[in-house]
Amino acid sequence: MKPKHDTKRSIFTLAALALLAAAPLSQAMEAAPLPSARAALGAERQALSPALPGIRTDKGIDKLDDYHETDVWGRIRSGYAIPDLNNALVTRHAQAYANHPANLSRISGRASPYLYHVVSELEKRGMPTELALLPVIESAFNPQAMSSANAAGLWQFVPGTGKDFDLRQNMFKDERRGVVASTDAALSYLQRLYTMFGDWPLALAAYNWGEGNVQRAIKKNQELGKPTDFESLAELMPAETRNYVPKLQAVKNVVANPSQYGVTLPAIDNQPYFTMVDKTSDIDLAIAAQLAEMSLDEFKALNPQFKKPVIIGGERTKILLPTENAEKFHINLAQWGNALSTWTTHKITGARVSIAQLASKFGTTPEVIRQANNIPPQSRLKAGSTILVPKTSATNHGDIAENIIENAVVAFEADRGKAKRNASRFKAKAGASSNGKRIARNTSSKRKQR
């Protein structure tokens, strides 16, 4: 990012020179190229927190790094602080990126809207900036990623851990997918694990495997008189965890020197990509995207936590928009003369209510009801379910109530009546087909006889 004022450039330059002149390694740093100087500054950062050596606390130097770097990748490189791991697994995973350079390039492109925010949050907490690369391993920087263990989002929180870190999960939203909320939770969790183990590789292993498992592995090696560092415990870990830290190291190596691995990292400007907009009233996703002058897909990419076609308002509800689109949003919102939300909720009280009946009641189609509520085909709603339906003149036009938001559930069951009807139709068609074949065979026989 280019500086806006020459005065600011002069002030920062003088500050940088003053810091370098005051450093104990000033002579070596003056003679060294810029990357080496940054490495020396990184060593100083490490020494500033004796109790937690992996946590950087000097925000002044971080701000200088932020100023000098025009690309977020350079900012990440300048904040590396986790000791390097060098083993066969690291080499193997780094070689995999070298063999398929398009993979990391594609993931990096997907990361571009989020990476500045993640790096900034790490620096605010004084944490190693290579942790910004962890979602490459976790989710390939896809906020919609879902694992077989039901872990979701960039940082792959399972439901229970998400709740532990106040990530709301209800019918309308899943904050494990939200970029800002999940990043805050993940960094808090990583800090807690680092405080617990005093070692980043072990903290990372615990993030993947669970702190209890890592603690038991440490205890086992202690009882056997063996070391308790990551590599010494690796043989006790499942394959996924054994490869977890080496994979991060491999990504770290590639980002440090992309050309060595034949990888091209798309440039990511060292400036905020998005800003947060408070929304205290309900608004349709499509209307929000329209007001922001964005495509619906672009809007969803920044706001993947919203599960329904309506965003529920409230004190905690924030939508993310690129800065220029946020300005358009506010201007267009002030001029908007229509309803912001076209959806409300309806509770199913009887087990015999069909989707077709609901669609007729709310002036829509069965397909709209099914899509809005993710109702599988050939299934029906159980009594007690709360679903999203279009607003009508007969329904309440207010916002959806907080108690509904937190307690609403949707449950399905197979539509046995429909299945029986389909089976009957199938038998009827099969019977008609068989009769047709018999008639054809009889006709053919008569022709032969003639």
CA–CA gap between residue 211 and residue 193 (Å, rounded): 7
Catalytically active residues, by annotation: 138
SS3 229: coil
Residues paired with residue 152 on neighbouring β-strands, in sequence order: 146, 157
Q: Cα-Cα-Cα-Cα dihedral of 233, 234, 238, 239, to 10°?
A: 180
**Owner of token pair 């998400």:** 162
Nearest to 190 by CA among 233, 255, 126, 240: 126
CA–CA gap between residue 11 and residue 219 (Å, rounded): 53
SS3 310: strand
DSSP string, 90-106: HHHHHHHHHHSHHHHHH
DSSP letter, residue 173: B
Residues paired with residue 344 on neighbouring β-strands, in sequence order: 389
- CB contact set of 438 (below 8 Å; sequence gap of 6+): none
DSSP string, 371-435: HHHTPPTTEEEPTT-EEEEE--TTS--SPPPHHHHHH----EEE-HHHHHHHHHHHHHHHHHHHH
| Inter-residue contact 93 to 247 (CB < 8 Å) | yes
| Inter-residue contact 96 to 251 (CB < 8 Å) | no
What tokens were used for 307?
């599960």
What single letter denotes the amino acid at residue 124? K
CA–CA gap between residue 141 and residue 106 (Å, rounded): 10
Helix boundaries (H) for 365-415: 366-373, 402-407
Q: Quote the strand ranges of 156-221, DSSP E.
A: none
CA–CA gap between residue 144 and residue 378 (Å, rounded): 26
Nearest to 400 by CA among 384, 411, 387: 387
- CB contact set of 191 (below 8 Å; sequence gap of 6+): 55, 125, 127
CA–CA gap between residue 26 and residue 19 (Å, rounded): 9
| Inter-residue contact 191 to 125 (CB < 8 Å) | yes
CA–CA gap between residue 11 and residue 417 (Å, rounded): 77
